[in-house]
Chain A
């Protein structure tokens, strides 16, 4: 019987619950014996010229092995006017930017020594506000004439809304948030006697990290080995390698000792990239019968101090996915990315797609409110219909498959939408202090949208066990279990005889890794193809052993053995026998999956909130979700991904914001200040299942890593607004904190 689609407890768990994972700070590898400890001295000022740096006192402190600044580095950094230095040289551009590196014998000496590095800063005007940044009054980089790092303000079509009976426009902030994986960033590295650098790095992509390190250090990629040990969460912020990793590799070479680095949480919250950070101006127009005719989205992306993914990739995905699940005849999108004196922005669970969804889903509610129609009905009227797929949007996305109305109806039915509306009306009529709000979001997103390929290799060992090498690099998703299930199903080999390896560039030299919800659809598909090739070859060997024609032998997956077709009693040969007979090269296939076609998961979320109109406190009571990513390999981890996504999406709607004061000082730089969502702020999740396959990969699957994050944020935000709609409230910015909500109630009551 096939194991596919059945609940399988993860093979990853045993170690994690007994002796704990092997995260980078846990490693006791012999190569790291005698390692020195590293800490970066970071800028406490958002924007300043560096006058002088005096390291003399630091260099003489007890336990110091080295203190280095940009002047010591003999490696080139990214060229171009906005290139990001490894260590700041003349100027700092955000609080948290690395300026110096301290190495000590004992980790407790690090903070003592870092304090002794005397840096003279000459403050410049900090550029924090987006309009201030766009004005170009203060430029972040000499030799540029603007802070705009990408995109432009398009001249819009003045006639876009001419035939619309109703047009609504609003400017909305999709605030900056911190990815905040529980494990902060860390690395450990050592140069071997063979002249090679080995770096253990908390990364989602060992191979990309290797190439970044080799490029930064000016060495051949073959000289660098990167190993991703257990990684304590990434959420997009551990893609590749950050500049710190290059400096650590350099420093290890310089002092001739292994180096270990594990940042503090406060460093993590200021110096690991942030996510989101967009300002949207939405304009939506249509007819009073609910038909939307035109939609315009103007995006200003806060890129932070240096152009990383925030400069192009994030707003690019926002542009692509702007129209969401709707057949809107006319869509215009313009995006600009602008540099500010804040932490650089890059990928965070969804990376540009949550922002697109938040904008269109808020816009649909604004439109519905304006014409006085139920938001569910407005959505139904405008959904792309199942028979219209594949569907190419005006923004250029080619959606594969979708059942958008079915997804919405499923959550409304499961949630009891009509009864909830009745309860809402009852409370309003009775003048209850605690009011009820219902929020809907329908969404579609793009997964594996990067267009890059993935590698996979399958070996059948002489003892009949299977070892697979995947280019994917899971860090909590349970992919080892999912991939072992796929191979077990394909080969008829029990899961405990299957080993999945990943994350070591010497074992898997060519790969992309994990992000963009790509791993099962690409990493899984390529292993399936490698498995098919192995089976094809095994068939010939088995035929030989069975003295039959290859056309007459088959793999009996129930028994994990080869037999003559239709003659199961005629003898079998095992995988071990086939592998043993495979000759010197063994029984193996190594495949590169290059024909990557993105897939488009979709769903609908219904959020139920209660808002206390006296205090402004909004509490999420229920969230009911359809997240359709095609056929499910393991419902256990599939649901786990949805749960995690829901929590992070809710967090953005209600709680989390990485904020700065006007001078660019981060005001949420510790976990005591940053309102990281806890168990008490979330309800039990109500999941409704749907599985619409795609035709765009051999497994028929889409990605589930980010989907639920994308739907939940606007569902919850819409629910908070809906709770107060009877007071005339039309919009509340995220996060919907008690103060903001109370202010909105007060403004509405005073007619503002």
Chain B
């Protein structure tokens, strides 16, 4: 089937197999490989992207379901001149990433959290990130990164 999906501000039109998952559309059809696959049960959140501005796990969305919608991945966060999004910058400043595999999904989930709750507490950040797994950081610095990006004191 043919799908038309706006990805990172650019319209994409592609012929795909019906069962194509959105994450594979991004990775394999478009070559946007930042979004990762970390499980097969919608548990880990490594594939988190924004669909019409809200975070979804793109391993559990068909490309067909995104037909006619807007998708944002971490590749689409950086500005035209290469300036980092505040969440990207905060992840680096706070050492909120180590191996980097969960990071694109974690950053997109964090963008979504702050859109819904611009001034969260550390505990609210933890609860909002429950669906995104990280094996390296112990989450402490990820929470700090979201706090920094929210413009609040990191230690809350």
Contact = CB atoms under 8 A, between A and B. Distances in A.
Interface of A: 9-10, 12-14, 16-23, 25-26, 28, 107-108, 180-184, 230-233, 235, 262, 264-266, 475-478, 636-637, 639-640, 643-648, 670-672, 676, 678-680, 682, 684-685
Contact of B135 (A13, A182, A478): A182
B154 to A, nearest CB: 10
Contacts of A265: 38-41, 44
Contact of A684 (B37, B77, B122, B130): B122
B101 A182 contact: yes
Given A644-B136, A671-B41, A183 B36 contact: yes
Contacts of B39: 265, 670-671
29 contacts: A14-B92, A17-B91, A18-B84, A20-B33, A20-B104, A23-B101, A25-B27, A182-B36, A182-B101, A232-B99, A232-B101, A233-B99, A233-B135, A262-B37, A477-B98, A478-B98, A640-B136, A640-B141, A646-B138, A647-B139, A648-B135, A671-B38, A671-B43, A671-B133, A679-B125, A680-B127, A684-B122, A684-B143, A685-B140
Contacts of A182: 36, 38, 44, 46, 99, 101-102, 133-136
Interface in B118-156: 122, 125-127, 129-130, 132-143, 155
Contacts of B95: 9-10, 478, 636-637, 639-640
Contacts of A682: 126, 138-140
B140 A13 contact: no
Contacts, number: 182
Interface of B: 17, 19-20, 24, 27-28, 31, 33-44, 46, 74-75, 77-78, 84, 88, 91-93, 95, 97-104, 107, 122, 125-127, 129-130, 132-143, 155
B101 A676 contact: no
A184 to B, nearest CB: 7
A183 B130 contact: no
Nearest to B133: A676
Given A28-B31, A476-B98, A9 B137 contact: no
Contacts of A475: 99
B129 A679 contact: yes
A217 B125 CA distance: 50
A637 B139 CA distance: 14
Contact of B100 (A266, A476, A678): A476
A13 B137 contact: no
A23 B101 CA distance: 8
B88 A678 contact: no
Given A181-B99, A182-B101, A20 B38 contact: no
A742 to B, nearest CB: 24
A533 to B, nearest CB: 32
A321 B41 CA distance: 39
B112 to A, nearest CB: 15
Contacts of B77: 18
B41 A672 contact: yes
A118 to B, nearest CB: 24
B140 A233 contact: no
Residue of A232, A671, A680 ringed by the most chain B CB atoms within 10 A: A232
Which of B42, B75, B101, B102: most chain A CB closer than 10 A?
A: B101
Contacts of B155: 684
B43 A670 contact: yes
Contact of B140 (A232, A264, A684): A684
Contact of A20 (B36, B40, B141): B36
